[in-house]
Structure 1
Amino acid sequence: MRIGFYAPLKPPDHVAPSGDRRMARLFIQLLRNLGHQVDILSTLRSYNRDGDAARETDTAMAAAREVERLGMAWQTDPATRPDLLFTYHVYHKAADYLGPALKQRFRLPYVIAEPSVAPKREHGPWAAGYAQAARAIHAADALLPITALDGVCLSAFAGAEKVHAFPPFLDPRPFAAAATERERHRATTAQRYGLAPERPWLLAVGMMRAGDKMASFLRLAEMLALTIDTDWHLLLVGDGPERAAVEQAFSFAADRVHFAGQLEGGELPGLYAACDLYVWPAINEAYGMALLEAQAAGLPVLSVDTRGVPDIVRHGETGWLTADDKPATLAAALSSLLGDAARRHSMAESAIQHVGTHLSMAAAQRRLQGIFAGLGLPA
């Protein structure tokens, strides 16, 4: 099939790295792996962080122009018209104005991956975005929620028959390969960052920006301050406008906290494999791609049982999820895990198997083939 792909929150070629951009690119790769031609419909960004009414109106007008542009192009050259519209990530802050209009005008099947609905946003600053996201969700032929929580809400909102659970995924091969060379990666990492190999190494990966990411960094610092008597190194990967604030938050252990900065994707598998435990409070995080990457490389995860995190981390099997994100709760779990190398090793092995079986690109391909077949589309 020829598939028209659209990501209203952040285009796949956006300069700023994020889990959202990563997931959009993975869906494109997934569709291409299945033999489909993928065309980016538009780079129009509908993201409205603050619910600004004028911005939403401008987006709607720009989208109408995009619909006309695409319509004229497809009428001029019918061979360029897609067989399927595929939109990634739709919610009240990033509504899809293209998909519903193009579906109606050209009678095309329409699929949304990672849709979500928050009825409390029906009124208030995001009312217009919520209404358009709702129109898109109702217009879609299939909804592919990333988390179980979103799936429950969507089933009640749009009908369970349209909802197909679709957990996040990745290509686990470079991560699994790195796990087989853990000692080599550990030696390289120790030399590069000045880490003591005999100490346990903690790892966290995230953009250093205001909001939820910063909240997680601050909570991580609070948690580690309570375990200052425990022997550990912490390696932080990421950068951003709040880098100085993050450095200040961890200044209590400056000799044990190492800042790696922003790394290229190819450098991460070896880093995950070299460390002993991935630590991240995941405050208001949908699920966390880094949690998935860590497990793929055999790095057990310490996080919180919140939102979509339990959809990818199996508590007690591939990691440990605390009941809340209080610093004392997290610190107690960290101390327990650092004192039990055998349990961490067991979790590491289970994590690699879990990702390979359930959260891999191959598993996602099988899942999507079944969904397309159910819609009467070529798989």
Structure 2
Amino acid sequence: MVTLWAVLPGDIDDPAAPSGGNRYDRTVLSLLPDVHEIAVPGSWPTPSDATRATLGHALSEIPDMSDVLVDGLVGCGVPEALAPHATRLRLIMLVHLPLSDETGLSPGEADDLRERERRALHLATTVIATSSAAADRVAGMHGLAHVAIAPPGVEPAPLAEPDPAGRRLLCVAAVTPRKGQDLLVGALEEDLAGLDWTCTFAGALVRPVPHTDPRLHFAGPLGDGALAKAYGETDLLILPSRAETYGMVVTEALARGIPVLASDVGGVSEALGTAPDGTRPGLLVPPGDRTALAAALRSWLTGAALRDRLRTAAHARRDTLPGWDETARRLDTACRPA
């Protein structure tokens, strides 16, 4: 078996910095044979000198003609570190989210990151994305003829026990402008203050959102056991992202029969999917639209028939979710030369 070298973010196993990308890398690589990992300090989205220097040195130590999977967080912003090795290594770039899609960048910063990523991806022999929507976007943005797809899987999980009123809300994501927690806080505090709800935010507090309502609880990053408990006590998962490649928390909720309210952006609709009868197990709203988010939440909190319909669909969708073994198979196929 030929060794697969994997260049990964240095914080991949840091419990204080959980992320969907890190969970994806760790889970899928654990299912592949003969993987040699190299940790490199990442810097999102702007590349750092440490990333550049460490990546260049790491690649120089890898034998010629090796297959090297490079996480986009590490490699997409530093094409100058990849270029000296592009002809002697088979570089495979895994793009979780295009660099220029990060929220809050100036036009100049976005243009620079987009150009850096374009150069990096054109040095690769293979580019992999984690959803069909992301693959289409990356291919179109950077003029690539083909982008392979390896969507995330999900672990089986026990069904959550619903509260009939549907009042227990959960948002699982690092607290950043891209994830849109500010929109959700505004909708709950200002538009839905008179309704009965509680909302827990699970994720690293990268940029905390000001709030005053005691029903809003920012729990910080949760370990596996605590996160499983939070899901088990949830009626509706909310993902109000402004940009999202896939949204692994969507399928994590569906695996527990929990409906989802999310922004219709990137691969989220792909992750949400439909039940076998075609019913969607959640609600999608335009990204960045607090009014639409509040209206959907009001419909959920005040509509028993809607809650029952979405719960039924979520339970049915649960049985059709892909496992991580399929992700590993697709990633391995893309990484190995024909």
TM-score under structure 1 length normalisation: 0.72
1:40 aligns with 2:23: no
1:312 maps to which of 265, 271, 278:
271
| TM-aligned CA deviation for residue 158 of structure 1 | 4.5
Other-structure match for 1:192:
none
What's the secondary structure of 2:237's corresponding residue? strand
Q: CA RMSD in A?
A: 3.4
Matches within 5 A, 1:98-109: 100-105=83-88, 108-109=89-90
Other-structure match for 2:317:
351
Matches within 5 A, 1:1-379: 1-7=2-8, 11-14=11-14, 16-29=17-30, 33-34=31-32, 36-41=33-38, 43-47=39-43, 49-50=45-46, 55=48, 59-68=51-60, 70=61, 74=63, 83-89=66-72, 94-95=77-78, 100-105=83-88, 108-114=89-95, 124-125=108-109, 130-156=114-140, 157-160=142-145, 162-170=146-154, 172-173=155-156, 175=157, 178-179=158-159, 182-183=160-161, 200-209=167-176, 211-213=177-179, 216-224=180-188, 225-240=190-205, 242-243=207-208, 246=209, 248-249=210-211, 251-252=212-213, 254=214, 256-314=215-273, 317-338=280-301, 339=303, 340-355=306-321, 357=322, 360-372=323-335, 375-376=337-338
CA distance in 1, matches of 2:111, 2:192: 45
CA distance in 2, matches of 1:242, 1:117: 20
Asked if the contact 2:21–2:96 (Cα under 8 Å) also holds between the matched residues in 1, the reply is no
Query: Does 1 or 2 have the higher relative contact order (CA < 8 Å, sep 6+)?
Result: 2
Q: Count the aligned residue pairs.
A: 323
Deviations 1:11-57 (A, max 9, x none): 4234522223222212322xxx23x211123x333526457xxx45x
Q: 1:294 to 1:136 in 2, by over 3 A?
A: same
Q: 1:257 to 1:97 in 2, by over 3 A?
A: same
Larger helix fraction of residues: 1
Q: 1:12 to 1:118 in 2, by over 3 A?
A: closer
Asked if the contact 1:85–1:103 (Cα under 8 Å) also holds between the matched residues in 2, the reply is no
| TM-aligned CA deviation for residue 341 of structure 1 | 2.7
CA distance in 1, matches of 2:11, 2:85: 18
Asked if the contact 1:85–1:99 (Cα under 8 Å) also holds between the matched residues in 2, the reply is no
CA distance in 2, matches of 1:164, 1:146: 9
Q: Which amino acid aligns with 1:142?
A: T
| TM-aligned CA deviation for residue 229 of structure 1 | 2.9
Q: 1:132 to 1:301 in 2, by over 3 A?
A: same
CA distance in 1, matches of 2:144, 2:333: 19
What's the secondary structure of 2:149's corresponding residue? coil
What's the secondary structure of 1:104's corresponding residue? coil
| TM-aligned CA deviation for residue 86 of structure 1 | 0.8
What's the secondary structure of 1:167's corresponding residue? coil
Asked if the contact 2:76–2:99 (Cα under 8 Å) also holds between the matched residues in 1, the reply is no
CA distance in 2, matches of 1:169, 1:291: 11
5+ unaligned residues in a row in structure 1: which ranges? 75-80, 187-195
Q: 1:280 to 1:150 in 2, by over 3 A?
A: closer
Q: 1:324 to 1:368 in 2, by over 3 A?
A: closer
Deviations 1:320-347 (A, max 9, x none): 1013432221122122233123212213
Deviations 1:221-261 (A, max 9, x none): 22123223332222232353655xx3x42x23x2x334444
CA distance in 2, matches of 1:150, 1:198: 36
CA distance in 2, matches of 1:151, 1:62: 28
5+ unaligned residues in a row in structure 2: which ranges? none
| TM-aligned CA deviation for residue 83 of structure 1 | 4.0
Deviations 1:167-226 (A, max 9, x none): 2333x22x2xx21xx34xx7xxxxxxxxx88663111123335x334xx22210221232
Q: Which amino acid aligns with 1:201?
A: R
